[in-house]
Structure 1
Amino acid sequence: MAFARNNAPRGSVVPTEHRNRKECVMNWEQIQGKWNKLKGNARVEWARLSDQDLERVAGEREKLVGLIQEKYGRSKKEAEEEIDNWCRRVS
């Protein structure tokens, strides 16, 4: 597990994956607000998702997690990691 210094007390470290997840959760609110503009980007990232799938997601992260699990056979953790990586790139 990678660690990164954050605004944590001196000498402590915050796991990078937790810091990144927190950043993505904060950015997800922005993604929800821009969902109509970002659907095309999501379609490129996950080509197996149809336009109808992305309409149903409507910017809801958990729905996107479920669709990625279903269409790509990913575990929940894998789907969440993919979304977090995508989230950082588009926000």
Structure 2
Amino acid sequence: MSEKHASANITQTTGAWKQQMGAAKVTWGKLTDDELLQTEGHVQKLVGLVQERYAITRDEAAAQINGFFDKHKA
């Protein structure tokens, strides 16, 4: 999956994102609760954070995030 797919503007509502944060923390354990909260469920913010923290390409991060949101639909 490409970054273009991720930018299909998947933005979770604040309430839904807070519910999904626990699963996100398990998936990306290197991210802090504060960092996850600050993304507010915005895909592009999360892609950048995962890319940076895990030293992977933007496309790899986007694929992980798309898979996460597909699995954890609110």
Q: For this structure pair, what is the TM-score category when the shorter chain's length is used for normalisation?
A: 0.7 to 0.9
* Identity, % of aligned positions: 31
Partner of 1:64: 46
The structure with more radius of gyration: 1
Q: 5+ unaligned residues in a row in structure 1: which ranges?
A: 1-16
* 2:64 counterpart letter in structure 1: E
More contact order relative to length (CA 8 Å, sep ≥ 6): 2
Which of residues 28, 36, 43 is equivalent to 2:25?
43
Q: Give the paired residue count.
A: 69
Using the size of structure 1 for normalisation, the TM-score is 0.66
Consecutive unaligned residues in structure 2, runs of 5 or more: none
Moved over 4 A (4+): none
Deviation at 1:56, TM superposition (A): 1.0
For the aligned residue pairs, the C-alpha RMSD in angstroms reads 2.1
Mapped partners of 2:41, 2:71: distance in 1: 16
